[in-house]
Amino acid sequence: MLKYLKKYWFFCLLAPLFMVGEVTMDLLQPDLMRDIVDNGVIGKDVGLVLEIGVKMIVLVLIGGLCGMLCGVFANLAAQRFGNDLRKDLFSRIMGLSFQQTDKISTGSLVTRLTNDVTQVQNMVMMTVRGFVRNTVMFVGGIFMLYTQSPKFALIAGCGLPFVAVFVVFFLKKSAPMFSVVQKKLDGINNVMQEDVAGARVVKAYVKEEHELKRFDKANDELCTVNLKVQTLLAFMGPCMNIVLNICVILVILVGGFTVKAGGDMTPGRIMAALTYLAQILHGIMFMANIFQTFTRAKASADRIKEVMACPEVLLDGGFFGETETKGKIEFKDVCFAYPNASGENVLENISFTVEPGETLAIIGSTGCGKSTLVNLIPRFYDATSGEVLVDGINVKDYHKTELRNKIAIVLQKAELYSRPIEANIRWGNDKASPIEIKKAAEIAQADDFICATEYGYYTMVSEGGHSLSGGQKQRISISRAVLKNCEILIFDDSTSALDLKTEAQLYKALNEHCPDVTKIVIAQRIASIKGADRIAVIDKGRIAAFGTHKELIKTSDIYRDIYNSQLKEGGEA
């Protein structure tokens, strides 16, 4: 991830330089205090006390200025690093194939994009600020302690190995737990994401108590792991404080014995030595916290790298050119099995051709492979074997952007966003004029209800489209697809919430205004597909029958059974 810091190398250079300035000012203070005590206070020289006091104030101001500038540049580097990393990670997540996002949960991706990036960002901040500060403080403190007395430096040197042992022991024990903490956080985000998205279902089935218990369980697991980590690390501070206090006692004893023996030791030197010792050992303790941050950040960085390193499953082809035909679809002996599944084919030996401008309807029982079939056309998945061709070109040979620009798809679950209705429709074509947006809505039979709202096309849609009915959401989604003005239009059971009259008006408007657009319609109702040029009956992943409504009534037992169950008793709508 160092490549993200290369752009901000200047900030990464300035921050440590100013930190060195701040630490240098801190290291000079105890030595000046020694002069005040030995020569000013004991020597009863008030002028010297004032003179050194002014110097100390100036040094404090310089150190404070250096510290502020260090903080500014460190934040610039860390925040911009985090900003770039988060953008690239989000871009990579958007580029993952469906089979990859099926493998990594939504909650986990949210955690990686937010908490994990923040952990790595904190590590950068700690590196360019805290790590530099404590390294310089340690080296400079040892040197300044040596200038007071070599014996004092030796005492500090004897305490350091014990501190190092404690740091290594506790961090080694806690390191594996940080990965577990992040995974438990994934679990909380998963529960949150599912319950917020499905709040209406939770309330409808009075499952609030059940979901509270589910959240409590995930939260308790996170709390338990966090407690284990923090309890373990809580022992590190007292252990290191014991070493610090022993070193302080030894300095006082050595200083006292030296004074008693008539040596050149003075109270000011002992005071300065104690201050330097405290700076050194507290710096080491803070360094231990930095190593803790590094350990946690490494766990987060590994999770980020896991996403960033995901291989490109659906590789782009190189075809961008024009094709002779517009909207022709061909399936040639196509088989498909979902990755990481049992290996059983969901689709088996599918072959058919849809000519430009034709309407192909697909019907079949739930789970027979209807949606899977149309997902192969925009290349959400790749066929296991066989070929899917659009305008005579294998979909694998297209650049994905070029292929998907030819296709507009409307899913059964309408995906709307927290923005005005007009903006949701404009997703189909950013350059569309208000007239074109209104025309698309009229074709989708959405214009009347949109105009009846308080602000018309500028009425805000709530998160997930909860402020609209199912039929309204579907019609806005259809408007978006119509506005895209593509060669191929796919309806994946996307009129299920419409009444038959509205649905009939929709298909009539599509045929009038989009006669050259190839349409593939997945539906569960015979009344929705009767007027299609041809109908494919899917059964257990195979095409059981293919033909017009009249032909299938005569030749297909499956189609006739569906027809009888839906329309015979009540008459055809």
Q: What is the pLDDT along the chain (573 residues), one digit of tens a residue?
A: 778 888 888 888 899 899 889 888 988 888 888 888 878 777 777 788 888 889 889 999 999 999 899 989 999 999 999 999 999 999 888 888 777 777 777 778 888 888 889 889 988 888 888 888 888 888 888 888 888 888 888 887 787 788 778 777 877 777 778 778 878 888 888 887 777 767 767 777 777 888 888 888 888 888 888 888 888 777 777 887 788 788 888 888 887 777 777 666 777 788 888 888 878 877 777 777 777 788 788 888 888 888 888 887 778 888 887 888 899 999 999 999 887 666 688 899 999 999 999 999 999 888 888 989 999 999 988 898 999 999 999 999 998 889 999 999 998 888 888 889 999 999 888 889 999 999 999 999 999 999 998 889 999 988 777 788 888 999 999 999 999 999 999 999 888 888 889 999 999 999 999 899 999 999 988 888 888 999 999 998 899 999 999 999 999 898 988 888 886 545 444
Collapsing DSSP states into helix, strand and coil, what is residue 492? strand
Q: Is residue 189 part of a domain?
A: yes
Domain limit, last residue, from 308, 340, 360: 308
Dist CA 357 CA 327 (whole Å): 7
State the CATH number of the domain containing residue 350: 3.40.50.300
Q: For residue 362, give both structure tokens.
A: 């697909």
Q: Is residue 318 part of a domain?
A: no
CB under 8 Å to 146, separation ≥6 — which residues? 152, 153
CB 79 within 8 A of CB 318: no
Residues 226, 94 share a domain? yes
Q: Is residue 502 part of a domain?
A: no
Residues 327, 279 share a domain? no
What is the pLDDT at residue 246? 85
Collapsing DSSP states into helix, strand and coil, what is residue 109? helix
Residues 132, 23 share a domain? yes
Residues 300, 195 share a domain? yes
Q: Is residue 314 part of a domain?
A: no
Collapsing DSSP states into helix, strand and coil, what is residue 156? helix
Q: Which of 232, 276, 367 shows the shortest CA–CA distance to 33?
A: 276
Q: Which of 275, 256, 274 shows the shortest CA–CA distance to 265?
A: 256
From the CB of residue 454, how many other CB atoms can be counted at a distance below 10 Å? Answer: 7
As beta bridge partners, residue 542 has 539
Domain limit, last residue, from 276, 308, 340: 308
Residues 346, 290 share a domain? no
State the CATH number of the domain containing residue 69: 1.20.1560.10
Q: Alpha-carbon Rg of the chain, whole angstroms?
A: 35
Q: For residue 567, give both structure tokens.
A: 């329309």
Residues 349, 303 share a domain? no
What is the pLDDT at residue 547? 92
Residues 301, 379 share a domain? no
Q: Is residue 137 part of a domain?
A: yes
Dist CA 126 CA 164 (whole Å): 19
Dist CA 142 CA 337 (whole Å): 66
CB 230 within 8 A of CB 223: no
What is the pLDDT at residue 228? 84
Strand order in the sheet with 347-354: 347-354, 329-336, 385-390, 393-394
* C-alpha to C-alpha distances, 197 to 348, 384, 410, 415, nearest whole angstrom: 35, 33, 20, 12
Dist CA 290 CA 400 (whole Å): 45
- Sequence-ordered alpha helix ranges (H) in 36-131: 46-95, 98-103, 106-111, 117-125
Give the structural domain span for 364: 323-406+526-573
Cα dihedral 414/417/421/424 (nearest 10) = -80
Residues 275, 340 share a domain? no
What is the pLDDT at residue 342? 65
Residues 362, 277 share a domain? no
What is the pLDDT at residue 571? 47
Q: For residue 280, give both structure tokens.
A: 């050194």
Dist CA 494 CA 473 (whole Å): 10
What is the pLDDT at residue 522? 92
Dist CA 244 CA 572 (whole Å): 89
Residues 252, 157 share a domain? yes
Q: How many domains does the chain have?
A: 2
Q: For residue 10, give both structure tokens.
A: 């200047």
Residues 160, 117 share a domain? yes
Residues 215, 71 share a domain? yes
Identity of residue 48: L
